[in-house]
Structure 1
Amino acid sequence: MSNAIVAALEHAATRVAKSLGTDAGKAVEGLYKDTGGRLTGVIERTVRADAKNAGDLQSIADKMEHNAIRTGVSDAQRATEQEALRSRLKSMLDPGTGGGNKTAYLKRQDDDFDAEMARGVRKSHLNADGNLEPANPNGTTSILQHVEGNRDKVAKGNSPFTSFAPEDGTGKIYGAHEIHVDYNRLQDDIASGKVSGVKVLNPADIQSSIRGEIDRTAGTHVHVPPGELTKDQINALTKQVAADQGLGKRAASQLSTRITALSNTRRDGEWLIKGTIPKDYITTVR
């Protein structure tokens, strides 16, 4: 996890540096590299605290890049906003400032956790041993395909991932029943080797993967404004990138679905766990 977050910050630093110009860019890039090193140390001391803030870290990086290329604002306004974002970043990475509130658990809702199928498609379920098993523990469905969900039922039924929301998440969740996963203890036991074949992917991991898909589809880096986007914003961004890069209809359509997936996973604060989760880490709430 630490490498993924640090890499995301350093990648954002490069983009911000180019947008701000040499001098200002160096200052921002220096901040990222400094905090990147500190972040690695923080993670070594308390993985859970940074896992809680992983999505927020990426969000701040997005906003810094967006602020750097905004038009219609003065240099003073831009500098003020950038400094505020830098302060938030420093606060989050300093364990002594109260930025390390950890998520106690991840939650998932379903109408029937025992059912292996829903509307004719395999889904995550509690197996005969009480473990939470994804649609296909050995499936090859990618992160993007899983997040896109019902767009491809074959991929959905072949997914090795199970989706979760953080304890305080406001994303799209549903179902009459709810379970919680003690992901803190699960991650500790994955790290120690007690649990194998399971991987926890936080919001920064997921969003970074989808960003890579967006850039590969476009053939260039695409600046996607921070936060959840409206359909009109997605359509306008897709149209602009397609025109700039000379994309055909198929590529433009793929670009649109990838930007939509990024927007949706930002909205949901989505986490993924790959593999079968042992019952010892699962609590049935209702």
Structure 2
Amino acid sequence: FLRNPLAETRTWWDQWSRLTPEQRLQAAASTLLSAAFHRLGGAIKRTVRFAKRHYNSVFRADNDFYSKTRPSQSGKTEIPKAHLDEMGNLIPANPNGRASITEHILNINKHDSPYISTTSEQGISKRYGKQRIQIDLDKLQEAISKGEVQAEIIGQDRIIQELKQSLEMKKQELNQLIQRENYSKRRYDKLIESIIKLENAIENTRRDKEILIKGIVPNRFISGPENLN
């Protein structure tokens, strides 16, 4: 899936860059605290509700499923991605890769990602390409359980948990940084940027109802590609 976590906050970031370090600290603390209280009320309900969900199929969209790369947003480089091989198997950018879930979601080290992004809602996939495939999640999970397929299905709850852990680490790092008398403004700005990216990634993961598949998906579980109108 294509992602640009800062695109939705560009205007805000321009305003942020004009603040003094003290003003930034106050604004960041206020924003993070407000977000925490806003989400606290429904956090437990969302977790329980997700645990009860069952998805028969997931979907993935692309402009060219057989291409191993996609253009970056600048158009200057190519980014590795999941693709269909000549047999119709769905292959992650690197089946043996060591990139973390957080790195995959944030488009970091995509050349080393063993994950494939999918969505549980058919309509959402239209945002990400002109073609779509459908993966039979029930049969894939059954084959995984029997040891017939070496893959793993990673639900939205675990993805968000990983992102939240990364977010908490960045917040702790920021807190440690600002306790120093002469801290690096450049490092401060990078940490704030990372926090914004992770906050957006969590919201985007929820919005897209994202489910990851780690490993290769054999063609017998895949329908398509079909062209989208």
TM-score (norm. length: structure 2) = 0.66
Aligned residues: 177
Residues 169, 269 of structure 1: 8 Å contact kept: no
Structure 2 residue 200 is matched with structure 1 residue 260: yes
Q: CA RMSD in A?
A: 3.1
Structure 1 equivalent of residue 178 of structure 2: 246
Q: Aligned to 2:197, what secondary structure does the other structure show?
A: helix
Higher strand share: 2
* Alignment equivalent of 1:108, drawn from 55, 60, 66: 60
Aligned to 1:179: 133
Match of 1:237 in 2: none
| Structural mapping, 1:1-286, within 5 Å | 66-67=40-41, 92=49, 102-119=54-71, 120-149=78-107, 152=108, 155-168=109-122, 170=124, 173-196=127-150, 198-219=151-172, 246=178, 248-286=188-226
8 A Cα contact 1:106 1:180, kept in partner: yes
Provide structure 2 residue ranges, at least 5 long, that are not aligned to the other structure: 1-35, 72-77, 180-187
Give the distance between the partners of 1:187 and 1:174, measured in 2 at CA. Answer: 25
Q: What stretches of structure 1 of length at least 5 have no aligned partner?
A: 1-61, 68-80, 94-98, 221-241
Q: Is the 8 A contact 1:109 1:177 kept in 2?
A: yes
The alpha-carbon deviation at position 266 of structure 1 amounts to 1.3
Distance (whole Å) between structure 2 residues aligned to residue 66 and residue 244 of structure 1 = 25
Equivalent AA in structure 2 for residue 201 of structure 1: I
Higher RCO by CA contacts (8 Å cutoff, separation 6 or greater): 2
How many Å separate the matches in 2 of 1:65 and 1:257? 17
The alignment partner of 2:98 has SS state of: coil
Equivalent residues of 2:101, 2:159 under 8 A apart: yes
TM-score normalised to structure 1 length:
0.54
Q: Is the 8 A contact 1:171 1:267 kept in 2?
A: no
Cα distance in 2 for partners of 1:167, 1:158 equals 27
Cα separation, partners in 2 of 1:168 and 1:64, compared to 1, 3 Å: farther
Could you list the per-position Cα deviations for residues 86-126 of structure 1 after superposition, in whole angstroms to 9, with x for gaps in the alignment?
Answer: 6x988x59xxxxx9563221001111111112222221111
Aligned residue type for 1:144: T
